[in-house]
Structure formats: structure tokens, C-alpha cells
Amino acid sequence: MSARVDDDALAVCVRAAERGRIARVRDDQTVFKDECAFSFDSPLSAHGVYVNAETLFGYSRKYVALDAARTGCEVYVRVKTTRTLKPTSEGEAKDETPTTLGFGVDGGFASESDKYDVDTTYALVIAPDFDDVSRALPLEGLPETLREACEKIAQKQGFHDTEETKSWQEIREVSRYALELAQEDNGKKIPSDPSKWRCEETGESGNLWVNLSDGHIGSGRRHFDGSGGNGSALRHYEAMKAQGKHYPLVVKLGTISANGADVYSYSPDEDDMVEDPYLAVHLRHWGINMLSMEKTEKSMAELQIELNKGFEFDKITEAGSQLESAYGPRLVGLKNMGNTCYLNSVMQVLKQVPAVCDRYFDKYEIFQSAPEDPVTDFPTQMSKLVNALVSDEYASPEAENAAVAVCPRMFKQLVGKGHPEFSTGRQQDAVEYFQHLLDVMTRAERAASSRVSAGPPTAAQFTFEIEDKLTCVESGNVRYSTRKDNILSLGIPLDKATNKASVAAFKERELKRQKKEEEDVEEIVRPEVPFSACLEVFGSTETVEDFYSTALKRKSIASKVARMKTMPNFLAVQLRRYYVGDDWTPKKLDVLVDVPKTISLEHLRARGLQPGEVELPEDQDGAAMETSSTPAPARVEPDMAIVSALMSMGFSENGSKRAALATNNASTEVSMEWVFAHMEDADFNEPLPDPSELPSVSAPSAVNPESVMMLTSMGFGEDAAEAALKACAGNLERAADWLFSHADDLQSAIAQVNGATNDVGTDVDSTTLDGAGEYELFGIISHMGGNTNCGHYVAHVEIDGKWYIFNDRKVALSRQPPTDLGYLYVFRRR
């Protein structure tokens, strides 16, 4: 039975209703009741969360007074949750080893909600009075609008409680070929006894896939699912296709059970794991009764999960070592929301950059000046996350299993909004996320310059200039050009391994063991390449064929060498461990590169035009200078739909962007053909060069008229709207953000876009800092897995002279940082 609201509270409620701002909660509207907009307090916190009845944003008790002063709201709904561990009866213990890539699903990783009984209560609160004992909802006598708002706040799911918590579950699309799949009547029947299954080409008995169209049994691809194989199933598909027969769907025999099986589509427009809703019927055609089958091999999901049993996982996570847990300021773990270890690792390193803390840590004024919707405000969410990581507010010995966890869900959604990859729940490349985050941060700091500290943007701490020197071999004339970047991306020269003889001997022994089918196992001998060799490759001279020499007025040969023109305060170094193999699948170099704790780049510093050097003349005839085997990037943004499609096939973001630009954003198919023709180019995975140093390539300049109209309706001129859309690849939301962020220098920004002087691909800020090229290592981001679209990231960070491992929520003193297995290394100037 509900109680009546007391007279004092009723007077405030009537006043609030007369204000006319009580929220009328729509069905599609989010109520932010499960996390404070300014901190990581939740309903599970000691005081719960207080939801503004007008804006529907929740705040911890610490920030209610601030929000009331900002918005004028007096009426809040307090949300308080308690939870108790579910009892476990004797005999209920079960194997919790996951078999499905997902949270909260059968066979998946257990979510916290599966372990607890939860009780949530709602109460009316009048700010700044926090006495809610006698005002538990529902209450009688409330004004109608407020009563409806309170009911909706209690009924609706919160920001966390949506399907986002299950976003990590592996999603397999239904194959478009399943409904009308062709199946031959060739009399073939597949035995139900797994011991009788054999590859029809090689006789192998493991990792076998049956083609659902003609019953052919073939071997899977090596490295594709972590097991052996020779690819005969794929070769059979290609052979049938050459005969005009499209038989795309195959099933992994050893995974068939009453619960389903692994189905793969070889069709180029899918080329992925898929669902076949008619699988039972399709298998019955070949004599296989799913209901009577038992799984005999690991599924693709199980093989991916087992990545943690290898050398790489053990070494990076320091498995086997008695690690001492660590707690305190800067030692706060981050909850993994399924596939967000890439975000967690990047932020654990970034928080150690003084410029980040100077701008975002303990800046109460950022919250004071936040817009009414703080969830979509980058300075607010960045400050919220940095406060949590740097302070001791969420640091406790119970942090690893605490009810209240630092879970950067709002931050992830905001930074990834509108991006074809980072807006999803899939695993991502930490290096690409690092660069994207710096881009987002730069735009936000421009737009909110009055709210954040003055000075160069945060990204300037990492931005540097590279000087490229081209020398015409015949004439000896030179040309210098400069490009900007924020990642020093280094290739790994395997031919420079110091233990080549040992590696070769190991491979020979391994080959003999395989031929003799010996079962004894020897520890793998991996190539060991010095870090200095990677730097030598960066600074080495490259030969440029078909170079148009303006001195000779004809094509010739040139040499090209890169040097560091400026040395940033913080240097991010990527070791390119990932590549695309001969079978077009992403692979990883199994190599050790021991990166030293201190490095010097002064020997790579650019010197500019030297005495006696003669510059190549400008080409008066307008002939194009060809600087590499890669077609000159057009002065347009790459189509992110094409880039996303290519990245989903395993190609790098930089290579995908090059393909889109080189083909004038023609289509995914055309861009893919360009990739196959140029993936061996030395600069394929390099960041895109500054287009101001390259000749123009004609590109479509038209923008969507409807998008232009939307932007002009906001008060911007048509020329500004078109420039914004050009700069943002036609993305309306990003274009609006671009206009507001360039409000102080709009005409200059428009001229820059129309003159194509912006960087293509990475929005590296124009500000660069310079100093001595002497650096010391303080951060390592390592990746475990066959490619950056799966697996797991871990960060090692040096704090106050000690190294710590940050494995999502777990934080501990590190005994042996994996300096030889890192993917991204971050240095600070000594």
C-alpha cells in the first residue's frame, strides 16, 4: 500500500510541476539511472544514484547539489540497489569453463547478474534534503506529471541494463545462401562414426569441414581456427566455383551436436562464420542426424578462448608468477565490458601523461560548465574517467570484485559514436583506437576551449613531424617534404634476427618430427630481432621507381629517406607484428623484439637542406611527381564504409584507407582489388602522408544536399556546410561537430578544406613540440591473439619507479614486463 507525500515535499513537487519541466518520458528515451554522469557511483553505491526528474540524468550524492544549481531542479528519484549472493546447493557445482564467446548466455562467461539476487528501491528526494525514508515510491498525492515521470523512471531500463551488456556475444549473421542452398543428389552419405571421417584430398582426420552442397569433406585452413589443416575445403569451393557451381556453406564435422555446429560461408560477400537456420535439414540430406551427434572437436569459439593457454598469454599476463595485487591512486582497474580491453589498456597509459591530468583531473569547473546532457560532452566524460583512475575514490582491496566498478561505458559510447568500428562491441586495434581518441580529444578541446585549460591540445604531446628527402639519382637534386604523425610505426626485419641459425635448426627438427609423426614437443625457438634493427629499417634508404624528375623532365629513379624533424614529449612506437598472409587471412609475426628501457633517436634527426644540395625545380609543365608505388592519395576523406568493410577482412586501417583513396572511393570490390595488388608495398600499412605535399587527384566534390540543408538550418553558411561535409566524409553528425569546433577560425578552416591542406586519414593537430630525442619507456600495450580483431590486450605501466600490470580490473606489481612482446610502446622524454 502506497503512502501519501508529506506536506513539505508536496509543496516543492507542486512548484516543480508548475515549472513545466518535469520529463514526459518517451518509450525510446534513455533514463540514466544506473550510473552517475560525473562519477562511477551506481545504485549499488552506499547512497545510490539520484535521477533528475526533469533531465533524467543520474548523479551521485556528491554531485546532486551541483546539478540542482546548474538545472534548477528540486525533485529527484533516488535509485538504491542491494544484492546478495545466490545460494548454491550441494551438487550444483558445475564446470564454468566458457564455450561461447558471450556474457550472460548459455555456455558463455558468467555475468555478475547471474551470481546475485538483486533488489532495487525507488524514493522521492527533495534537493538538497536527502531524507527519503518516508518517501518510498509509489506515493499518493503527487502532481500527475511527476507521478508519471516517477513511474517511468522506475519502469524503464537504464543505460547499463540494455542489450549492451551482452554486446560481446559473438554475433553470426544468417547466411543469405541458407534458404535456397543447392544440394546434389549424388547418393553420398557421411558416416556418423567420427573415426571414419577423412579429408578426401589428403586423408587427414582432424579439422574437417563438409560442404553442404555436394558432401565433399575437406581440411580446414591452417591458422584459421588455431588447428592444423591444408585448406582443401576452400580449394574445393574454388574449384566448384570455376565450374559455375556456387557451393559456399561448409560445416565443421567435429562440432555437430543437437545444439548446432560451426558453419562457415566461403562466399566473398560473407567470408565469415554464419548461421544456417536449416542446418538440420541440410545435414540430414547427407545422412547426418544432429540429434544423435556428439561434439568431438573444439568449436571456433572454444579455440579462440584457449588463446590464454599459450606462450604469449602466459608471458604477457605473467602467469605462474605470484603477483602482488596493488591498490591506490593510479592503480585502479577498469571493468571489461566484453571486448573493451583495448580501451582499458590505452587509458591506463594515457593517465600517466601529465598534460592529460593537468587538463582533466580534479577540474570541478568542467562539471560546473557541463551542458544539460553531460553524457554527450567529451570534457565531462574524460574528466570523469581520469578522476576515477588517478584518485583513490575507487581504489580498494575489494576493487577486483567490488559491486561498484569503474566501467567506462559512457566514455566508450561517446568516443566511438559514429565510427564504423569503435561504436560496435567487437574487439579493436588498440593503436587505431589511440589515434582515434586523440582525434576526438583534439576536436573537443577546440570546441570547448573556454572550459578546458589553455595551451596546445593534448594530442600535441604525441605529435611529431617526419622529414622525407627525395634525391634524383641522376641529377643529384633533392626535394624535402614534411608530414605529421603521432605513431612511429616500425616494421620488424626478420632477416636481422640474432639467432637465425637456432631458428633454422629448430624448424628443421620440427619438420623431421612432423614427417615421422613424432609426438614429443620442443619449446619453440622464436626469432629475436634487436629494436635497433627496427629503427634502422625506418631510417634506411628506399629506392623509388618511375620517379618523375623535374630536373630531367622525365621519369628516372630516386632514393627516399625519412628522418624525425621534431621529437615529441611523448613518443608512441608501434611494432608491426600483424600482416596479411598469402591466403588473405590476418596473421601475426611470432617474433621477440626486446625494446630497451631507454632509447635515443638523435641519430635519426632531420637536418634539412644541406650546403651544396640543389633543390629539384618546381614542375612548370604540371607533370605529376610519382613518389612511391602507391597511387597518390586524393584530397578527399576515405569512405569509412569501404574502410570498415576492408578492415573486417583483416586488412589494416591505414591500408584500407589507402585503398579507398587510391580508387576514389569507387566501391569495396574495386578497393579490395587494389589491396591485393599493393599489399606488398613497403608503405601499405604506413599512415597516410600529408596531401598538401602530393598532387591533386580529381575526386567527386558533391555533397548530400539534404545534409547541407540540415547544417544551414543551424545558422551556418552553405560554403561552411559543404566544407564541413567534405572534411568529414559526408558524415552529418561529425560535420556539425567540425563546424562548432572551428567556430573561432571557421573561414580559415573552410579555406584549408577547399585547398586540401588538411592531413588525410589522421586528424593530427598542427601543433608540434620539440626537444631532445632521448626517451625512457613507461608504458607497454601487449596483444594476445592471431589478429587485432580478436584476443586480449594488457597494459604494463611504470608508476613512481615500479612496473604494474593492468589486466582489466586486475592490477598487480609486475615482476617481468613483456618488453619483447609489446605491440605499442610509449616513451617519455628523459
Position 307 scores a pLDDT of: 45
394 belongs to an annotated ligand binding site: no
pLDDT-derived band of residue 517, with 50, 70 and 90 as boundaries? Answer: low
Residue with the larger pLDDT of the pair 564 and 667: 564
485 belongs to an annotated ligand binding site: no
Position 464 scores a pLDDT of: 96
- pLDDT tens digits, residue range 105-132? 455 545 555 567 889 999 999 987 766 5
CA distance 584 to 601: 35
* 300, pLDDT greater than 80: no
Question: Residue for cell digits 578544406?
Answer: 753
CA distance 611 to 623: 28
CA distance 352 to 804: 12
* 761, pLDDT greater than 60: no
* 557, pLDDT greater than 70: yes
Position 745 scores a pLDDT of: 65
CATH class held by domain 3-166: alpha beta
Section 396-405 average pLDDT: 57
199 belongs to an annotated ligand binding site: yes
Position 404 scores a pLDDT of: 58
As annotated, the residues of the chain forming the CATH 3.30.40.10 domain(s) are 3-166, 194-305
Residue with the larger pLDDT of the pair 691 and 479: 479
Least confident segment among 40-54, 658-672, 805-819 = 658-672
Residue with the larger pLDDT of the pair 660 and 609: 609
Residue with the larger pLDDT of the pair 347 and 325: 347
Residue by residue, what is the 3-state secondary structure of 245-294?
CCCCEEEEHHHCECCECCEEECCCCCCEEEECCCHHHHHHCCCCCHHHCC
* 397, pLDDT greater than 60: yes
Position 565 scores a pLDDT of: 96
209 belongs to an annotated ligand binding site: yes
- Kindly tell me the sign of the dihedral angle through the C-alpha atoms of 779, 782, 787, 791: negative
Residue with the larger pLDDT of the pair 506 and 311: 506
How is residue 762 annotated by DSSP? S
Position 696 scores a pLDDT of: 39
Q: In what order do the strands lie in the sheet with 116-126?
A: 58-59, 49-52, 75-85, 116-126
* 400, pLDDT greater than 70: no
- pLDDT tens digits, residue range 149-201? 999 999 887 876 543 443 444 557 899 999 999 999 999 999 988 989 999 99
In the structure grid, which three cell numbers stand for residue 319, read together? 602467469
804 belongs to an annotated ligand binding site: no
Position 636 scores a pLDDT of: 61
Question: Residue for cell digits 587427414?
Answer: 204
Domain 705-754 has CATH 1.10.8.10: yes
As annotated, the residues of the chain forming the CATH 1.10.8.10 domain(s) are 705-754
Residues catalogued as catalytic? 341, 792
| Residues above pLDDT 70, as percent of the chain | 80
CA distance 388 to 408: 10
| Count helices and strands in the chain by DSSP H and E runs | 22, 25
Position 114 scores a pLDDT of: 59
Instruction: Please say whether the beta carbons of 747 and 754 come within 8 A.
Output: no
Position 54 scores a pLDDT of: 95
**Residue 446: left if φ>0, alpha if ψ -120 to 50, beta else—which one?**
alpha
- pLDDT tens digits, residue range 425-441? 777 889 999 999 999 99
Section 295-316 average pLDDT: 61
CA distance 653 to 659: 10
User: What type of residue is 377?
Assistant: D
378 belongs to an annotated ligand binding site: no
Section 650-655 average pLDDT: 78
User: Which 3 state secondary structure label does DSSP give 746?
Assistant: helix
221 belongs to an annotated ligand binding site: yes
194-305 CATH pick, 3.40.50.12780, 3.30.40.10, 3.40.190.10, 3.60.20.10: 3.30.40.10
Section 128-154 average pLDDT: 83
222 belongs to an annotated ligand binding site: yes
Query: How many residues make up the chain in this entry?
Result: 830
| Residues above pLDDT 90, as percent of the chain | 49
Q: 563-595 burial, b for 16+ CB within 10 Å, e for fewer? A: bbbbbbbbbbbbbbbbbbeeeebbbbbebbbeb
Average pLDDT of the chain, as a whole number: 82
Q: How far is residue 504 from each of residues 494, 511, 516, 534, 643, measured CA to CA in Å?
A: 12, 11, 19, 21, 38
Instruction: Please say whether the beta carbons of 377 and 15 come within 8 A.
Output: no
* 57, pLDDT greater than 60: yes
Question: Residue for cell digits 567527386?
Answer: 700
Residue with the larger pLDDT of the pair 395 and 819: 819
